[in-house]
Structure 1
Amino acid sequence: MIDFDAAVQDPAHPSKLRADFDVGDHLHPNAAGYEAMAAAVDLGLFK
């Protein structure tokens, strides 16, 4: 399982996106948010 929510959530408000990952609609991640989601993937899962 890959928890993308944990990768982009605001630690102070776990039900919200971190402001620096928010595209502006408070629902979808921006490019930095997608990068954080990609970094959360353990590539070892694909071996």
Structure 2
Amino acid sequence: QALQAVIAAGGGVVGKIATTELPGVGVLRVVYARDPEGNIVELQKWS
């Protein structure tokens, strides 16, 4: 949802979505995106 919001606001994706499982912690998804001003931000989702 956060990535879709960045794209809808005029930003874009940098690279691919990476997913990894950390035993005892959970699953982590990470993607880098460029916001509308050109800054690169890291978006994370834990589950």
Band the TM-score falls in, shorter-chain normalisation: under 0.3
Name the structure where strand makes up a greater proportion of residues. Answer: 2
Structure (1/2) with the larger helix percentage: 1
